[in-house]
Structure 1
Amino acid sequence: LIQDYHFALLPRLVKDRRPDARIVLFWHIPWPNPEAFGICPWQQEILLGMLGADLIGFHIQFHCNNFLETVDRAIEARVDRERFAVVRGRHTTYVKPFPISVAPAPDPADVGVSRDELLKDLGASVEFLGVGVDRIDYTKGILERLRAIERFFERYPDYRQRMVFVELAAPSRSHIKRYQDLDEEVDRAAEKINWNLQTNRWKPIVYLRGHHSHAEIWPYYRHADFCMVTSLHDGMNLVAKEYVSAAEEERGLLILSRFTGAARELVDALQVNPYHIDEMAEAIRLAIEMPPAERALRMRRMKQIIRERNIYRWAGLLLEELTRLSVDRAGIVEV
């Protein structure tokens, strides 16, 4: 099992050395359309490297379709759309969706921090708590999310001093200047919003920059009234699934970018366009004001999906599909 774009060339290298090896490559990020991928100077090398695998997995069917269309346009190969496969010479690579998921959340008794204790630690005496958990990455839509929170308080001033949003942001790829710049932008944006709206006893955004363990994150998932996942583009986004798994059924609600793979499964989330600031601000209001019965029903249905389609099922399906492939010493794959 080879995972993600860092090892795009590895399947071909392994297959050349061991034609009899059964190789699966799982691609965690979105696969673009052929026009976007066509600007890459090394597109043929990348595709030929990937097609050394016997099975390539993406999160959703849409990315599988994009990949097959890219192969069809970029290299000499036969794309078998009925079997979702690519045939080059005597080797066949199957391309299928395997939506990744998360392990079951810990028992609520193991969280160890009550909602009142959590708010006290934050220095916040409020009715409503929102949360975001991200790497500081330009694909995660953090700046857009902060602008939506600001817009929410501008449009609905009655919620000032009644709601606080906590952003747990982990520094990422800090040696790259674009990421350094984004880190500073996010920090300035949170500070600016707080400066404009805060009072002596309240500020709208609590920005917790640093690397947080799961044990530190779970209480926020558990007790938040809503979680915002506003990725501009994401293969899946496991924060959405972690939150649904851990949140209180009667309290939580997910605001989810429609540009995530998770949006295909979690249809009961409030799905938003992260480029539409007003729409996200309205989603915050809907999350807070939604009748308890509807909120609980949405969360129950999403929790059921996460329980049934957990990480163990994902791994099992991937390995089951791989074991169905018979690879002879010449590297020829048969189903």
Structure 2
Amino acid sequence: MARTTRTPRVDFVIVSNRLPIDAKPTADGEDQWVTSPGGLVAALQPVMAGREAAWVGWPGRADTELAPFSLDKTHYVPVSMSEQELAEHYEGMSNATIWPLYHDVIVPPEFHREWWDSYTRVNQRFAEAAASVAEQDGFVWVQDYQLQLVPQMLRGLRPDLRIGYFHHIPFPPYELFAQLPWRQEILHGLLGADVVGFQRVADASNMRQAVRRNFGYSMNKPIVRVPVDARLPRDPHAPPVTASKTREVRVDAFPISLDQAAIVEMATTDSVIARSREIREELGNPNTIFLGVDRLDYTKGISHRLKAFGELLEEGTLQASDAVFVQLASPSRERVESYRELRDDIELQVGRINGDFGHLDRPAIVYLHQNMSREEMMALYLACDVMVVTPLRDGMNLVAKEFVSARTDNKGVLVLSEFTGAADELDQALMVNPHDIDGMKEAFVAAAHMPVAEATRRMAELRATVEEHDVRRWATGFLDAVTPHTPKPRR
């Protein structure tokens, strides 16, 4: 990629917590920028293809000031964060307060005022960076929970812009959201957008309910009518709201997807197919390979699925000589204490099950705590017989859709948590409640012994669904919702 320092104003800007590229030092001391792994990057890359655009985000290094730069048609605007801001805004407010609160309080969220202050300060910095690069009347698309204040801040700086916000994780029911001391500030921030998108209908409904409970704004689903001079009700210094003019904010569901064609292209290469066969051989050619692919996160239900698998081995329903579970858990937020504890717990669980049922030449569970190349991931998808996607709560989960897209042979069975956004679309998967260990065990056995004709029919229907609802449809649906929208005041 050709790098320049040219950073013109553009009419399409994406704002996310991280830039979609990482700096890798070279032998001569220069940075080489490579594409980052992750679902958000994979989803947005097709949207950016062939378009001159800007991407605003943190470059991945604390206490580092980087000037904007360009690679091909994309202009990157790095936003700096100090080590303290990284600890308070990202590890603290974003991932120890908002993340657990929005994921059904699987672990207790922490509430610290200094974290909130840092979150506010960093959001303002992102808004200013986006405002500096957006063309007059351009479009800015803000991504996810780390930046929920940016839409309103950006509207204050640049009222000419069209602003979209997409929320990639769940939005909680009001009974949970109400715990947040800064709930009004969050809602006020989100309502700065013209369109606020969610993965599921229920998430959009939860936000509209929160707006109704806190602000009492008029709405006609999915439209919320926000006063042009809206302010926080508890701000005694703001001028009074006349409510004579409102603008329409669409709060709706736009389920995200992926670029199926790109995955099919990779999964059908000779090298990936050959590697998938090697993986089966390396695992001893068992009858059934179960596969889990996740970030190491307490929301993903990894310990629940391993418990179910371990009990099946203990009962003798499955034999370690015939079945193996491969669990890839990529490193995540390793400076956060709850994540370090989770890693220790899962590694102890894996060690116990392997100690009880594994053999020297064949462990019952192959546990990999590492990042993996896209090609190796595709080979794993092709090698496995049963894909296990069982989060306790997830906005969408693109791993399920990646697996389905890769299986051009129409083989393999998907076991899917009903608490994922993907469950709304992939109804030919075997649905499970990951808290129900017995139910999960039944699904594992059913998947392992499913007749070929039934498995083929299910996979063909799953593939057709993902093909129809691909990332271009997601992006087009969202952009079409924003493009005709003009913030014309109404009386």
Q: What TM-score results when the alignment is normalised by the length of structure 1? A: 0.94
CA–CA separation in structure 1 for the residues paired with 2:155 and 2:396:
28
Q: Which moved more, 1:87-96 or 1:209-218?
A: 87-96
1:219 equivalent in alignment to 2:219 = no
1:232 corresponds, among 368, 392, 395, to 392
2:420 is the counterpart of 1:273: no
Measured after TM superposition, the shift of residue 297 of structure 1 is 0.4
Matched, 1:243 2:243: no
Paired with 2:220 and 2:206, the residues of 1 have a C-alpha distance of 14
CA shift digits 1:275-328 (9 cap, x unpaired): 011111111110011111110000000000111111111111111111110235
Match of 2:109 in 1: none
Quote the offset at 1:85 in angstroms.
2.5
Larger radius of gyration: 2
| 1:50 and 2:208 aligned | no
1:21/1:286 Cα in 2 relative to 1: closer, same or farther (>3 Å)? same
Deviation at 1:79, TM superposition (A): 2.6
Matched, 1:109 2:265: no
* C-alpha displacement of 1:167: 0.5
> Which of structures 1 and 2 has the larger relative contact order (alpha carbons within 8 angstroms, sep 6+)?
1
Verify the 8 A CA contact 1:256 1:263 in the aligned structure 2: yes
Match of 1:143 in 2: 303
Q: CA deviation at 1:126?
A: 1.1
Whole-angstrom CA distance in 2 between matches of 1:236 and 1:280: 20
8 A contact 2:273–2:382 mirrored in 1: no
Asked if structure 2 preserves the Cα contact closer than 8 Å seen for 1:54 and 1:333, the reply is no
Cross-structure match for 1:97: 253
Which of 141, 158, 182 is residue 18 of structure 1 equivalent to?
158
Residue 65 in 1 paired to residue 205 in 2? yes
Q: 1:9 to 1:25 in 2, by over 3 A?
A: same
Change (3 A) 1:239 1:265: same
- Structure 2 counterpart SS, 1:131: strand
| Cα-to-partner distance string for 1:149-190 (whole Å, 9 max, x where unaligned) | 112222344533101110111010001011011011111111
Q: Gapped runs of 5+ residues in structure 2? A: 1-140, 228-242
Match of 1:85 among 224, 245, 257: 224
Q: CA deviation at 1:76?
A: 4.0
Percent of pairs identical after alignment? Answer: 38
- For residues 56 and 212 of structure 1, the distance between their equivalents in structure 2, rounded to whole angstroms, comes to 33
| Greater shift in the superposed pair: 39-48 or 196-205 | 196-205
1:303 partner SS: helix
2:339 to 162, 165, 179: 179
2:191–2:226 Cα contact (<8 Å) kept? no
CA distance in 1, matches of 2:208, 2:160: 24
Query: In 2, distance between residues paired with 1:262 and 1:109?
Result: 24
**Residues 80 and 164 (structure 1), Cα distance of their counterparts in 2 relative to 1, 3 Å cut:** same
The amino acid across from 1:68 in the alignment is R
1:254 to 386, 411, 414: 414
Q: 1:75 aligns with which of 215, 218, 232?
A: 215
Partner-residue secondary structure (3-state), 2:204? helix
Unaligned runs of 5+ in 1: none
Letter in 2 for 1:87: V
Q: Are the aligned partners of 1:25 and 1:57 in contact in 2 as well (CA < 8 Å)?
A: yes
In structure 2, do the counterparts of structure 1 residues 194 and 86 end up closer, same or farther at CA, with 3 Å as the change threshold? Answer: farther
Contact residue 2 and residue 25 of structure 1 kept, 8 A: yes
Q: Which amino acid aligns with 1:101?
A: S
Describe the SS at the equivalent of 1:71: helix
Structure 2: how far apart are the matches of 1:303 and 1:333?
A: 44
Residue 248 of structure 1: how far off its partner (Å): 4.9
Q: Which residue of 1 aligns with 2:465?
A: 305
Indicate the larger mover: 319-328 or 55-64. Answer: 319-328
2-structure distance, mates of 1:24, 1:231: 28
8 Å Cα contact 2:428/2:462 also seen in 1 = yes
* RMSD across aligned positions (CA): 1.7
Task: Name the CA distance, whole Å, in 2 between partners of 1:302 and 1:250.
Answer: 9
> Partners in 1 of 2:145 and 2:275 — Cα distance?
40
Change (3 A) 1:143 1:316: same
Distance 2:476 2:368 in 1: 36
Counterpart in the other structure of 2:423: 263
